[in-house]
Structure 1
Amino acid sequence: TLTMQLVKNLFLSPKRAFSRKVAEAVLALRIEQIFKKDQILELYLNQVYWGHNTYGVQTAAQTYFAKPASDLTLAESAMMAGLIQSPEALSPLVDLKAATRRQHDVLHRMVELKWITPQEEAAARKQPIKLGKRTSFQSSEMPYVTDAVVEELTKKFGRDAVLKGGMRIQTTIDSRLQRIGEDTARRWIQTLNYEGVYADQMAIVSVDPRTHFIKAMVGGINYKKSQFNRAMNAQRQPGSSFKPFIYYAAFASGKYTPDSTVYDSPVNYPDGNETYSPRNYDGTFAGAITIRKALEISRNVPAVKLGQEVGLNKVIEICRSLGIKSPIDPVISLPLGAVDLTPLEMAGAYATFASNGWYSDPTLIVQVTDSSGNVLLDNTPKPRLVLDSWAAASLNDTLQGVVSRGTATAAQIGRPAAGKTGTTSSERDIWFVGYVPQLATAVWVGNDNYRPLGYGATGGHFVAPIWRDYMQQALQGVPVENFKPASEFDRP
């Protein structure tokens, strides 16, 4: 019966067993004692899968006919009722002829049951069907997220299994943070243009350092204009926001602390047939300087020197342990961000700094079950320690100084926060990647065609305020938490 199908979908596993049938019958009987038939039907219609990633009769009506369920005609209702048997194969968006044949079966059965007259059946058969737009996810409020979830599912289960449908997906996304992120991106792209930063795109992505669950993902300004997900797939140069990887490597070597002295002085390196001479943003040199100060004011020369000292292949190895999969070459200028990385890679890596070295693979999916409740995928975090905790805590301490008194004072949010600005040569990409112990967020601003953003466009001046705006809203109601000091861990 329909009630028993509802019981199966809601409560029971699909195992065929006598005990299962007994439980099914008992629960069905109890439901029929508690609920009226109309209520049971409503529960069923909102539980059953309707095809095209759609659950709930209201959403299905919008998907297939672009109208609420209460406005469906007899012809449309009969077509929807016919879908339940095999929603993908009988979808009018896929095969209108098959859907119409099934609709006729439903109408004929309604006549047999004397629910409608033969005249009403004939009229419904003649009524033209006007379908909604042909898209599987037209009702999605978070299209970048939906596409990314489908991509992740396809990698796990294959395209055919995903298209077949029937999966129930619990995502990691916090809908409140997602709305805040989308609103922040829309508002700030207009503000940037008004302030003379000629950017047409932005990406925002947040990762929970405790689980590495992706909590928000804004892949661009307008999904309808461009479905390219920049948060996941745009490989852009991170500029100075790459420097923390160098300084972490220095701390992990055991030879340096945040207060160690480095030298911001002229240096030349052979680079093929040429010589590479790193320069600072302002063209000056500061001489002897602590690592803490060098990172706070984002000096380039000490970072390049440290890169040579610790070894760039070691830095690349660290990046791989942080889940960064983009190609990285050990070029001399790597410490200054001479590499293309995605915002998600940056957010995931910084989240690992925030957790003092504990890493899980970032994901959008918590769990996938089939329509009977069988677990197909369980992404319960399985964190592993991939960094030296003393070195990570030392980096966290140093990066807090970037926010409190360095290049990112515009990112101050009234609680302990750490992060790093990034600006590429010719101002084509500007970044701020920052975090508190409970949330790491990367914000990237740029143009898809790599057009320069304009003279003076820096991550500290223009992107740090975007991060601050987003994080202040995202962290409302979240307790203030301090970073663990390096003194709690053994130094390598």
Structure 2
Amino acid sequence: MEQGMWRYFKTLKPGETWRSLAVMAGLLGLAAASHAVLSFEEVRREHRSSETLLLSREGEVLQRQRTDSTVRRGPWVPLADVSPALRTALVLSEDKRFYEHSGVDWAAVTSAAWGNLWNTRTRGASTITMQLAGLLDGDWRQGPGGRSVVQKVGQAVAAQVLDRRWRKDQILEAYLNTVPFRGEIVGIDALSQSLYGKAAHGLDARESAIAAALVRAPNASVERVAQRACGVLQIMIPDDVAARNCAETGSALQLYTASVLQRRQWLASEGVAPHFARRWLAQPQNKGQAQVRSTLSAPLQRFAVGSLQQHLRELQGRNVEDGALVVLDNRTGEILAWVGSSGAMSQAAEVDGVTAMRQPGSTLKPFLYAQAIAEKRITAASLIEDSSAQINTQNGLYIPQNYDRRFKGWVSARTALASSLNVPAVRTLVMVTPDAFFTQLKNLGLPLRESGGYYGFSLALGSSEVPLLQLTNAYRALGNGGVYQPVNWAVPAGSRKAGGKPSDSSEDKPVQALDAQAAFIVGDILSDNMARAPTFGTDSVLATRFWSAVKTGTSKDMRDNWAVGWSERYTVGVWVGNAGGEAMHSVSGTSGAAPIWAEVMGFLHRNTPSRPPKAPAGVLNQQVTFGLASNGNMPIESTRSEWFVTGTQQSLFAMDSIAASADHSKARGRKDSKSATNPVPIKEAASILRPASGTILALDPDIPPDSQRVQLVARQAGMASEQAWHDNSLRWQLVTRQYSAPPAGSPSNTKPVMREVRRELGRGSQVGWLPWPGRHQLELLDASGKLLDSVYIEVRGAGALVAGPEDIKKKR
């Protein structure tokens, strides 16, 4: 070493001789510093990839996520996994005598010094070992103005220490994993993945030559890189014709080099759980790790992704391209599956549908009925009137409509909730009050942005916005007997770092957010296939072969479709729609999210049973019967066994007014039959009972279109306000104004063309009408076509635009 150093100092330029004394004075310090050189094992252990691997609970890789934005570096690659061609190219290009010298190539140093002295260009004297010393210790790293004499000497000393302590293969391996190649790319793994889209062991001679050329000048021009790569190829395979002639046919190699340097094939994220990975790896206890085990189940996650994408492909013709899905473990609150989007099928694949705020539609109804039952305002068998309702609010009349546009009269709370009837839900909210219901939803972890007064009675029908994750977790509370606990973001046991957040931290203690008895009764209702039959039919996709409770929902204008429910062990939430907010076309509660929910639930329980929950203390079951319906022919609902909160049970549910009306109707019917020969003139007797003038019907997209009917009812003078009779001499007619664009070539100020379209709706005092959006005038005519009465109504919702820019006046 001493002789080599002496030869080195003799080559210094005359102007630099004075520095030699300072250099010599620092040799003792450098020698002492050389003892601080890291071992090969320490360097490899401290290597940090810019990527983090997300593992499933089973230990399988689910996602690779870039977590360091300052550099692109892959995992450590053993030398045995590096292409022999690349190893050869690198040694021939950077350090031909790598296996011969002791860290510093003194012959090359001397040659470089003489070249500087005589102003001739020679190859640099820096060996692979010296370059590695500079990469490992910033003190020897080259700055913008080059290395100082002290840095050069220090680098030489450190290189010789490395050569004595490390094997040659270790030096080459460490160099390949730490050397910068181009831009942000550092290390052979990042280079291979970014520029060639393959592992390091797959690089051929041409690819290796380009890689070696980049080591010499990482940010050189394409032409210069191609020229250097050609020289490396000629040294590597001198007998190869293509290599020998690459200088003459450099254009081909240059084109290839240009295409390679433009590639960035190594995506920042790759796998089946990108959205979850971003959230999970952002947790404080997960930062800075090469790989992190998560709570996700690999088989379930892959199945959920495939199921969502398959069903969304089937719905593409209905303007649906996005969806999201989440599965929670009921007991632990761990996230077992998280699908944030449909991936490549979506135009907004980066938007996470699990955390996006969306209108939940009817999925809030279970919490409302649970609150009303807990407050003993209703029972599951209580009768709630399903009829046209006009509720006074600060903003005017609020007139809700049902799922199928049909009013069913008096129904039990069980039927109202399971069949998703809107009017009974609003009537129930009137009892509970919007402010109290708002507080209940907040206690269940739903992040509502406004107040109960802001949403008003529409809160019963899901006019607020909530994320799928929090909504699913609120349903998990229903499945856990009303006990709410936030989603568990803790690292699974066995892989938690010291200081990591435990799953039972004080802020995540369980809270009894809902009455346990009410939660049990609501769960029983949502698992009752017969109770949902009036709306969904008995062969609904919601009916599983194992015990489960589920509720669907669709937001205003068919923008969001949901299915959320739970089994004994799992809670599953699904949303479908469009990330941009566009309305779907003819997607109902059972054709959008529900099939995906049912398929995922089936996968979860393919080998796992799901049993009904046991009734908690304070709940009893008894037989109930119902009184006669308004027609007097049959009971309101069939006799059944029903659950009650203790103290609220009763055996008979009937309405006295119904019985009285039925008796009055029979008596009036006999009287009318006797006076049939001298009837009251229809002109004086008939008027429209419902809908009332000014009614606004808001179409619920949860309902299949064929089932959306409104009952048009006429009444006779002198009859009770809610009574109707049968008379086929009455005719119903709908008048709608339609506007069309002016003919082509018309002046720009030409107004749209308006025409009135009249449609016959039917005959009789009671007619079922299938509404469509628009502003309409509803007319009641006698047999001769004479107008008896008319009302003005508006129908809102997704569908064809039939109304024009002008409103139909409410009065003549």
Residues in 1 aligned to 2:294 and 2:611: alpha-carbon distance in whole angstroms: 26
Query: 1: distance between equivalents of 2:306 and 2:134?
Result: 37
In the alignment, is the contact (CA less than 8 A) between 2:552 and 2:594 conserved in 1? yes
3-state DSSP class of the match of 1:262? strand
Q: Is 1:64 aligned to residue 50 of structure 2?
A: no
CA-CA distance at 1:260 after TM superposition: 1.2
Query: CA-to-partner distance for each residue in 1:201-232, whole Å, 9 max, x for gaps?
Result: 00101112212222111111117963221102
Aligned position for 2:500: 376
Partner of 1:94: none
How far did 1:302 drift?
Answer: 0.3
C-alpha distance in 2 between matches for 1:82 and 1:415: 66
CA contact (8 A) 1:202 1:446 kept: yes
User: Is the 1:295–1:398 contact (alpha carbons within 8 Å) kept by the matching residues of 2?
Assistant: yes
Is 2:543 aligned against 1:412?
yes
Residue 213 of structure 1: aligned partner: 334
Alignment of 1:44-123 (within 5 A): 50-52=48-50, 54=52, 64-65=73-74, 69=78, 70-71=81-82, 110-113=162-165, 115-116=167-168
Structure 2 regions of 5+ residues with no counterpart?
1-39, 55-60, 67-71, 92-127, 139-145, 147-151, 195-263, 620-644, 648-812
2:391 alignment counterpart:
269
| 1:310-356 residue CA offsets vs partner (Å, 9 max, x unmatched) | 11111111111211123243211110111111111110000000111
Letter in 1 for 2:601: M
Q: Is the 8 A contact 1:240 1:337 kept in 2?
A: yes
Match of 1:355 among 458, 472, 480: 480
Give, in angstroms, the shift of residue 254 of structure 1. 1.8
Amino acid at match of 1:52: S
The amino acid across from 1:376 in the alignment is G
1:129 to 181, 184, 188: 181
> In 2, are the aligned partners of 1:422 and 1:431 still within 8 Å (CA)?
yes
One-letter code aligned to 1:221: S
Is residue 458 of structure 2 the alignment partner of residue 333 of structure 1? yes
One-letter amino acid of the counterpart of residue 111, structure 1: D
In structure 1, distance between residues paired with 2:447 and 2:584: 27
Q: CA distance change for structure 1 residues 119 and 391 in 2, over 3 Å: closer, same or farther?
A: closer
Q: Secondary structure at the match of 2:593?
A: helix
Letter in 1 for 2:373: F
| Residue 110 (structure 1) shift | 4.8
Closer, same or farther: CA 64–244 of 1 in aligned 2, 3 Å: same
2:446–2:470 Cα contact (<8 Å) kept: yes
Match of 1:479 in 2: 609
Matched, 1:365 2:490: yes
Distance between the aligned counterparts of 2:82 and 2:273, measured in 1? 26
1:136-155 map, 5 Å = 138=269, 141-151=272-282, 153=283
Q: Which residue of 2 aligns with 1:6?
A: none
Q: Equivalences for 1:235-384 in 2 at 5 Å?
A: 235-330=357-452, 331-366=456-491, 373-380=497-504, 382-384=509-511
| 1:183 counterpart (306, 314, 320) | 306
- TM-superposed CA distance for 1:64, in Å, is 2.6
8 Å Cα contact 1:219-1:228 kept in structure 2: yes
Q: 2:390, 2:65 → 1: CA distance?
A: 65
Q: Which residue, out of 560, 564, 575, partners 1:444?
A: 575
Please tell me whether Structure 1 or Structure 2 has the larger radius of gyration of its CA atoms: 2
By how many angstroms is 1:476 displaced?
Answer: 2.5
Aligned to 1:457: 587
**Is the alpha carbon distance of 1:264 and 1:169 closer, same or farther for their aligned partners in structure 2, counting shifts above 3 Å?**
same
Give the letter aligned to residue 361 of structure 1.
P
> 1:141 Cα deviation (Å)?
4.5
Alpha-carbon distance between aligned partners in 1 of 2:611 and 2:419, rounded to the nearest angstrom: 25
Tell me the number of residue pairs that the alignment of Structure 1 and Structure 2 aligns: 424
The share of aligned pairs that are identical, in percent, is 25
The yes-or-no answer on 1:228 pairing with 2:237 is no
> Please, which of 520, 525, 530 is the counterpart of residue 393 of structure 1?
520
CA distance in 2, matches of 1:423, 1:457: 9
The code of the aligned residue for 2:588 comes to: T
Contact 1:367 1:375 in 2 (8 A): no
Cα distance change on mapping 1:107 and 1:291 into 2, 3 Å: farther
Q: Distance in 1 between matches of 2:577 and 2:503?
A: 33
Q: What is the Cα deviation at residue 488 of structure 1?
A: 6.1
For 1:422, the equivalent position in structure 2 comes to 553
For the residue of structure 2 that corresponds to 1:483, the secondary structure is coil
Question: Relative contact order (alpha carbons < 8 A, sep ≥ 6): 1 or 2 greater?
Answer: 1
Is the 2:312–2:322 contact (alpha carbons within 8 Å) kept by the matching residues of 1? yes
Q: How far did residue 295 of structure 1 move?
A: 1.4
TM-score, normalising length from structure 2?
0.46
Shift in alpha-carbon separation, 1:118–1:443, aligned structure 2, 3 A: closer
Counterparts of 1:255 and 1:83, CA distance in 2? 78
Alpha-carbon distance change, 395 to 60 in structure 1, aligned in 2, over 3 angstroms: closer
Aligned residue number for residue 767 of structure 2: none
Query: SS of the counterpart of 1:172?
Result: coil
User: 1:329 and 1:116 mapped to 2: Cα distance?
Assistant: 70
| Structure 1 counterpart SS, 2:318 | coil
Change (3 A) 1:426 1:113: same
Say which structure is richer in strand.
Answer: 2
Within 1, Cα distance between the matches of 2:588 and 2:521? 26
Cα distance in 2 for partners of 1:78, 1:404 equals: 78
Report Cα offsets for 1:240-283 as digits up to 9, x if no partner.
11111211111111232211111111221223342111111332
**Following the alignment from structure 1 to structure 2, what is the Cα–Cα distance between the partners of residues 451 and 105?**
68
* Structure 2: distance between partners of 1:60 and 1:432: 30
Alpha-carbon distance in structure 2 between the residues aligned to 1:284 and 1:349: 30
SS state at 2:476 partner: helix
Q: Which runs of 5+ in 1 are unaligned?
A: 1-40, 90-96
User: Using a 3 Å threshold, how does the CA distance of structure 1 residues 114 and 242 change in structure 2: closer, same or farther?
Assistant: closer
Instruction: Provide Cα deviations, 1:334-384, integer angstroms capped at 9, x if missing partner.
Output: 10111111111110000000111122111333359999x523311237433
Q: Distance in 2 between matches of 1:361 and 1:341?
A: 15
CA 340–260 in structure 1, closer or farther in 2 if over 3 Å, else same: same
How far 1:451 moved relative to its partner?
Answer: 1.1
Please report how far the alpha carbon of residue 138 of structure 1 lies from its aligned counterpart in structure 2 after TM superposition. 3.5
Deviations 1:395-423 (Å, cap 9, x if unpaired)? 00111125874456212221011011111
